[in-house]
Copies of this chain bind each other. A is one copy, B any other.
Amino acid sequence: MESFSVKTSRREQMVDITSQVREIVSSKGMGKGMVTVFVPHTTAAVTINEGADPSVQHDLLAGLAELVPHRTPYYQHSEGNSDAHIKASLLGSTVNVLVDGGRLILGTWQAIFFCEFDGPRTRQIHVYVTN
């Protein structure tokens, strides 16, 4: 298991972590297998989506904000970040990416994104390689 950290600068933010994951796979001299990315936080997530056009990140965060309001009369959690907890479960804390010939097998437009929903914070990301 390898870990690295990401520093976010806004409350809600997607950070492309593909190159960090690629570097870990490369440093292991891994030929083929699977890499699992795990986020050990409850107000953040990891997802795979389009990395080419930043407007997709905008629309994903805006769509989630529309779906899950920041404040509602029915939230009971006192920290004011219930929306971030809900978004964390909707997107999930883990993704798997396949590896072949030493390379991440991602589609043309795919990138791996750390998703911050209650920043800015410094966050950890764990990466585990399975042969």
Contacts and interface: CB of A to CB of B under 8 A. Distances in A.
- How many protomers of this protein does the assembly include? 3
Contacts of A77: 53, 55-56, 58-59
Interface residues of A, number: 57
Interface in A1-50: 1, 32, 34, 36, 38-42, 47-50
B74 A62 contact: yes
Contacts of A94: 48, 95-97
Contacts of A63: 68, 72, 75, 82-83, 86
If over half of A's interface residues share one DSSP class (helix, strand or loop), that class is named, otherwise mixed; here it is: mixed
A55 B56 CA distance: 31
B88 A89 contact: no
B42 A110 contact: yes
Given A42-B110, A78-B55, A89-B60, A34 B32 contact: no
Interface of A: 1, 32, 34, 36, 38-42, 47-50, 53, 55-56, 58-60, 62-64, 66-68, 72, 74-78, 82-83, 85-86, 88-98, 100, 105-110, 124, 126, 128, 130
